[in-house]
Amino acid sequence: MNIATAFRSAMLTAAVGALFVVCGCEPGPSAPGIQPAGDGQVPYPVSLLLPKEVRIHPFTGTRELDDADGIKGVEVRIEALDHYGDSTKAFGDFRFELYTHRPQTPDPKDERIAVWKVPLDEAQSNLIHWDNITRTYKFRLQWDSSIPVGDRFVLAVVFDSPFTQRLFDERVFIAGQ
């Protein structure tokens, strides 16, 4: 390598280094719509893989979860979706609320029937509820009184995590379907 080539290589390296110093070394969210998750504890681009949305999956439905007569439970499937719309893991707390249905109103929730809180902040509890085939979380939620087949009810889910914003979803169900 001659002196001119070595000089050009050194100048190019210095220019690239100066560019990193002037622009900053951390990539940060520069594309439109890409923001760090939660309070910024998780660095970009890893923050893009955290849940941005939770969705009550269509496989969710009422079940007879024990030998008693009638529908006394809901098998809930929750899909956590990241920035790209892909299923992802969710570390935090899920809260489920079951309400009677109030027809023909903007908010269909009426009287609250039951509430469940399921912490998934530990790796073991997270693994217990994770279904690798559907890439959803599966929860079997039971309550004391039965719901007659054909009755409508509303299931609401809230996901809280120190790494993301609070996420919500709700769905109206018909018992027995």
On whether residue 153 sits in a domain, the answer given is yes
Question: How far apart are alpha carbons 174 and 148 in whole angstroms?
Answer: 10
On whether residue 42 sits in a domain, the answer given is no
Is there a contact between 88 and 164 (Cβ–Cβ < 8 Å)? no
Binned at pLDDT 50, 70 and 90, residue 68 comes out as: low
Considering only 58-72, 91-105, 147-161, which range has the smallest mean pLDDT?
Answer: 58-72
Comparing 136 with 145, the larger pLDDT belongs to: 136
On whether residue 7 sits in a domain, the answer given is no
Q: Is the peptide bond before 45 cis (omega within 30 degrees of 0)?
A: yes
On whether residue 11 sits in a domain, the answer given is no
- The pLDDT assigned to 20 comes to 42
- Per-chain mean pLDDT for the chain: 81
Q: Which domain holds residue 97?
A: 48-174
- For 3-62, write each residue's pLDDT tens digit: 554 444 544 444 444 434 444 444 444 444 444 445 557 899 999 999 999 999 998 888
On whether residue 32 sits in a domain, the answer given is no
CATH number (domain holding residue 86) = 2.60.40.1930
What's the maximum distance between 2 C-alpha atoms anywhere in the chain? Answer: 89
**Number of domains within the chain:** 1
- The pLDDT assigned to 39 comes to 52
Q: What is the dihedral of CA 143, 148, 151, 156, to 10 degrees?
A: 10
3-state secondary structure 72-129: EEEEEEEEEECCCCCECCCCCEEEEEEEEECCCCCCCEEEEEEEEEEECCCHHHHHHH
On whether residue 112 sits in a domain, the answer given is yes
Is there a contact between 64 and 132 (Cβ–Cβ < 8 Å)? no
pTM score over 0.85: no
Q: Which of 51, 57, 78 is nearest to 160 (CA)?
A: 51
Question: How far apart are alpha carbons 105 and 82 in whole angstroms?
Answer: 31
* Exposure on the CB side of residue 171, measured as CA atoms within 13 A: 18
On whether residue 17 sits in a domain, the answer given is no
Place of tokens 């002196």: 3
On whether residue 94 sits in a domain, the answer given is yes
C-alpha distances out from residue 154 to 10, 59, 83, 104, 119, Å? 66, 15, 27, 13, 22
| C-alpha 165, offset from chain centre | 10
